[in-house]
Chains A and B, each alone.
Chain A
Amino acid sequence: TQLLEQSPQFLSIQEGENLTVYCNSSSVFSSLQWYRQEPGEGPVLLVTVVTGGEVKKLKRLTFQFGDARKDSSLHITAAQPGDTGLYLCAGPPVGSTLGRLYFGRGTQLTVWP
């Protein structure tokens, strides 16, 4: 059973379009993180959201943590080819051992010029 469900699994869009990726769970999380992974490399941390309802912005990327801390979203405005990659959400459920991280299966984003 996957603790974090990400949708969509694949997303293929044209440069300039907007998109949203979702990360959902039935469990409450202490925090949620978003990573981006490029081919042949390890995941790189983009952001951590900690408080329910929190919104963080990183240039054209907007991250939101749900009020109940069970879900999160990543919104990209005016996507660019450089945004192409695998986006992963991850987090420690409340009560998990020493902040152990659980990952979603990822959203593969392709942005065409």
Chain B
Amino acid sequence: NAGVTQTPKFQVLKTGQSMTLQCAQDMNHEYMSWYRQDPGMGLRLIHYSVGAGITDQGEVPNGYNVSRSTTEDFPLRLLSAAPSQTSVYFCASSYSFVGGRSYTFGSGTRLTVV
């Protein structure tokens, strides 16, 4: 099983450019989410989705859009990139069990905005 697949692995953008980070999972998980990881800050939730057609904001949603047209895919869009969005982005999918959720993370996209 591939699990959670993120593309691209690396990306350099100029300020003001737009792009889409792709995320796909093959585990039929309803819940998917996007995090960014910055040095000393841990992982912070950007947006999440509890199922196809349903999305909601996390801690740091400004500057990012998401959509969920299928169970498998959850792309993250940067409409006008800013240097503050330089970070490593992780997509995760999860299933619930008694007491919590089990998360599977992708291997990340390292984004640099210059």
Binds B, one of A56-64, A70-78, A100-108: A100-108
Q: How far is the CA of A30 from the CA of B92 in the complex (A)?
A: 20
Q: How far is the CA of A105 from the CA of B44 in the complex (A)?
A: 10
Main secondary structure of the interface of B (DSSP, over half): strand
Q: What total of A-B pairs shows CB separation below 8 Å?
A: 65
How big is the A interface, by class? 20 to 34
* Residue in B closest to A4 when the chains form the complex, CB atoms: B42
- Residue B40 at the chain A interface, CB threshold 8 Å: yes
- Residue B74 at the chain A interface, CB threshold 8 Å: no
By the criterion of a CB under 8 Å from any partner CB, how many residues of chain B are at the interface?
29
Main secondary structure of the interface of A (DSSP, over half): loop
Residue ranges of B at the interface with A (Cβ–Cβ < 8 Å)? 4, 31, 33, 35, 40-45, 48, 50, 56, 58, 90, 92, 94, 96, 98-108
Besides the known contacts A2-B42, A40-B107, A48-B100, 13 further A-B residue pairs in the complex with CB atoms under 8 A apart: A30-B100, A31-B100, A41-B108, A42-B106, A42-B108, A48-B102, A50-B98, A50-B100, A100-B45, A102-B45, A103-B42, A103-B43, A105-B42
